[in-house]
Amino acid sequence: MRDTTELELMLRGYGLTTAEILYRMPDHPGVLQTYLWQDYDLAPKFPVLNSFLEFWRAKLEGPLHSIRYTHKKLISPSEWRMVDGEILLH
């Protein structure tokens, strides 16, 4: 997916997903830390976010506490229309 441009992803239905991840500090489990994550993803299954969370659970030491996310499609099909014509200036 990384060799694809952002515009191509948006035209394929991807939207910008932002997640606020609260996790416990490994050395101090009573302390919560915030991590913000942002990438293009497909709603409603969010495969990119779920892949990142699986990586977090498998490789990082800070246990997850909670996740809040928002998703916004930046381009929708109704915003694109074919223009058949040409306007010449000067």
What's the confidence (pLDDT) of residue 3? 76
pLDDT for 1: 53
pLDDT tens digits, the chain, 90 residues: what are they?
A: 567 888 888 888 899 999 999 999 999 999 999 999 999 999 999 999 999 999 999 999 999 999 999 999 887 666 666 677 777 777
Class of residue 68 by CB neighbours under 10 A (exposed 0-12, middle 13-18, buried 19+): exposed
Residue 79: the pLDDT is 60
Tokens, residue 57: 């659970």
Given a contact cutoff of 8 angstroms between Cβ atoms, the answer to whether 71 and 43 are in contact is yes
Tell me what pLDDT residue 2 has. 60
